[in-house]
């Protein structure tokens, strides 16, 4: 039976898993319920080995093929965590956890890889070993980094690794990928501006950190507009402006700015970090205030290896008949930690005409499940053919 036909049969079962995950979202590394269900199902499917607690709450399943003449080991990774968002979908299976929501489709990713794992354990129609990886804390926690640091690649002998993400606005079941830099490095920063507060009616007796910080917000935009080569990509966003006072008649002593920098080039990343610090300190000095800059290099650029990208695209063409060229994406993706550790590729699968990810009305499209599951299986079988 063709792979997609089998997953069309399995669709109600996999959809039921997905709806359960959606109704019970968990954040960052606190994926204990989800991880437990994943491990339980992998054991029930007949995985040769199931390991829990890797990278704190990650789960790994090992599936051996009918034969193993070449010793090839391929890793397939899905993420499990949700977002701190209040759901507004009105679904019958909407989040039961207030302020938590699967607004990025990780419930779908986890369910699709579970479906693929069930099929692979049933058929074992490959020559080598498949390692299915269920990762926590993709949404800013660096779960991929934690799993790699916990020995993921070495312990299971993974030689190459693949990931997949749904993509709203693209027809259901279609695929897109690109070689080289794909998702941006995602850095976070905090600037603490310190002045001298006082009565709002006597601003001349203060060093006003709100005015200083306001100048910084504007000046930081010059990094993209005047410091970086316009043919290269950079995003500098100020996302939070907080003062220590909520009163109408008080000039505070401290203002805290927070934001992010996104880049696709290490030289641009270095430049952006340096200029952010220079602008913050220079602006503060000009206004008679001081600035403390805390810059955190978080997710690295996610780069698709050339050969693995073609393998992934070929698997997509086998499933859907085509694979489009994906755009550069300035969002971060911590699959980068896995693809830095081993050659790999990351692909997009269409989610249809839905709300965008990270939106309170977003929902993963269940009709994408057969294509996604089929791609995982095709990826394993094409990289480790029986004959």
Residue 201 neighbours by CB under 8 Å, 6+ apart:
249
Q: What domain count does the chain have?
A: 2
Residue 267 neighbours by CB under 8 Å, 6+ apart:
none
Same-domain status, 172 and 192: no
Same-domain status, 295 and 309: no
Question: CA-to-CA distance for 194 and 132, rounded, in angstroms?
Answer: 49
Domain hosting 225: range is 185-299
Does 204 count as an annotated binding residue?
no
- The Cβ of residue 149 has, within 10 Å, a number of other Cβ atoms equal to 12
Does 358 count as an annotated binding residue?
yes
Same-domain status, 223 and 107: no
Question: CA-to-CA distance for 177 and 87, rounded, in angstroms?
Answer: 30
Same-domain status, 267 and 323: no
Same-domain status, 102 and 200: no
Question: CA-to-CA distance for 186 and 237, rounded, in angstroms?
Answer: 11
Burial code of 254-263, b = ≥16 C-beta within 10 A, e = fewer?
bbbbbbbbbb
pLDDT given at position 6: 84
Does 165 count as an annotated binding residue?
yes
pLDDT given at position 2: 59
Which residues partner with 207 through β-bridges?
196
Q: Which of 278, 299, 320 is the last residue of a domain?
A: 299
Please choose, from the candidates 117, 73, 107, the residue with its C-alpha nearest in 3D space to the C-alpha of residue 377. Answer: 117
Q: What is the CATH number of the domain that holds 59?
A: 3.40.630.10
- Segment holding 129, helix H or strand E: strand 129-135
Same-domain status, 294 and 306: no
pTM over 0.85: yes
Q: Which of 299, 333, 361 is the last residue of a domain?
A: 299
Following DSSP, what letter does each residue of 280-294 receive, concatenated?
HHHHHHHHT-EEEEE
Burial code of 211-245, b = ≥16 C-beta within 10 A, e = fewer?
bbbbbbeebbeebbeebbeeeebbbbebeeeebee
Question: CA-to-CA distance for 373 and 78, rounded, in angstroms?
Answer: 11
Same-domain status, 331 and 223: no
Same-domain status, 68 and 118: yes
Residue 22 neighbours by CB under 8 Å, 6+ apart:
91, 93, 94, 95, 102, 107, 363, 364
pLDDT tens for the chain, 387 residues long, are 457 678 989 999 999 999 999 999 999 999 999 999 999 999 999 999 999 999 999 999 999 999 999 999 999 999 999 999 999 999 999 999 999 999 999 999 999 999 999 999 999 999 999 999 999 999 999 999 999 999 999 999 999 999 999 999 999 999 999 999 999 999 999 999 999 999 999 999 999 999 999 999 999 999 999 999 999 999 999 999 999 999 999 999 999 999 999 999 999 999 999 999 999 999 999 999 999 999 999 999 999 999 999 999 999 999 999 999 999 999 999 999 999 999 999 999 999 999 999 999 999 999 999 999 999 999 999 999 998
Same-domain status, 51 and 130: yes
Same-domain status, 205 and 252: yes
Question: CA-to-CA distance for 239 and 125, rounded, in angstroms?
Answer: 49
Q: Which of 246, 280, 299 is the last residue of a domain?
A: 299
Following DSSP, what letter does each residue of 69-109 receive, concatenated?
SS--EEEEEEE--BBS-------TT--SSTT-B--SSHHHH
Does 146 count as an annotated binding residue?
no
Please choose, from the candidates 90, 84, 105, the residue with its C-alpha nearest in 3D space to the C-alpha of residue 170. Answer: 105
Same-domain status, 325 and 347: yes
Same-domain status, 289 and 369: no
Please choose, from the candidates 23, 82, 34, 24, the residue with its C-alpha nearest in 3D space to the C-alpha of residue 57. Answer: 34
Q: What is the CATH number of the domain that holds 215?
A: 3.30.70.360
């Amino acid at each position: 039976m063709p792979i997609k036909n089998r997953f069309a049969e399995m669709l109600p079962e996999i959809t039921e898993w997905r709806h359960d995950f959606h109704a019970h979202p968990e954040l960052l590394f606190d994926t204990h319920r989800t991880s437990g269900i994943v491990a339980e199902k992998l054991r029930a499917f007949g995985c040769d080995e199931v390991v829990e607690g890797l990278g704190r709450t990650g789960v790994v399943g090992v599936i051996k093929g009918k034969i193993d003449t070449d010793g090839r080991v391929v890793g397939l990774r899905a993420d499990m965590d949700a977002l701190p968002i209040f759901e507004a979908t009105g679904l019958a299976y909407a989040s039961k956890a207030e302020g938590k929501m699967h607004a990025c489709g990780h419930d779908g990713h986890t369910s699709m890889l579970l479906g693929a794992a069930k099929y692979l354990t049933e058929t074992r129609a490959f020559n080598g070993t498949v390692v299915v990886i269920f990762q926590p804390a993709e949404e800013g926690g660096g779960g991929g980094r934690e799993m790699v640091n916990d020995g993921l690649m070495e312990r299971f002998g993974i030689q190459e690794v693949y990931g997949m993400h749904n993509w709203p606005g693209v027809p259901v079941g279609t695929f897109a990928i690109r070689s080289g830099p794909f998702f941006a490095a995602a850095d976070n920063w905090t600037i603490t501006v310190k002045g001298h507060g006082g009565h709002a009616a006597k601003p001349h007796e203060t060093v006003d950190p709100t005015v200083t910080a306001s100048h910084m917000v504007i000046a930081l935009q010059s990094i993209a507009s005047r410091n970086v080569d316009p043919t290269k990509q950079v995003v500098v966003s100020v996302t939070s402006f907080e003062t220590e006072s909520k009163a109408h008649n008080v000039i505070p002593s401290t203002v805290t700015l927070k934001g992010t920098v996104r880049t696709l080039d290490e030289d641009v990343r270095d430049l952006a970090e340096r200029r952010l610090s220079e602008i913050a300190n220079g602006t503060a000095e000009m206004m008679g205030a001081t600035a403390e800059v805390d810059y955190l290099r978080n997710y690295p650029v996610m780069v698709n290896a050339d050969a693995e990208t073609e393998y992934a695209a070929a698997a997509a063409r086998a499933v859907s008949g085509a694979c489009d060229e994906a755009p550069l994406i300035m969002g971060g993706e911590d699959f980068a930690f896995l693809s830095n550790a081993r050659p790999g590729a990351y692909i997009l699968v269409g989610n249809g005409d839905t709300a965008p990810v990270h939106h309170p009305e977003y929902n993963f499209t269940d009709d994408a499940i057969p294509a996604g599951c089929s791609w995982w299986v095709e990826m394993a079988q094409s990289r480790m053919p029986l004959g």
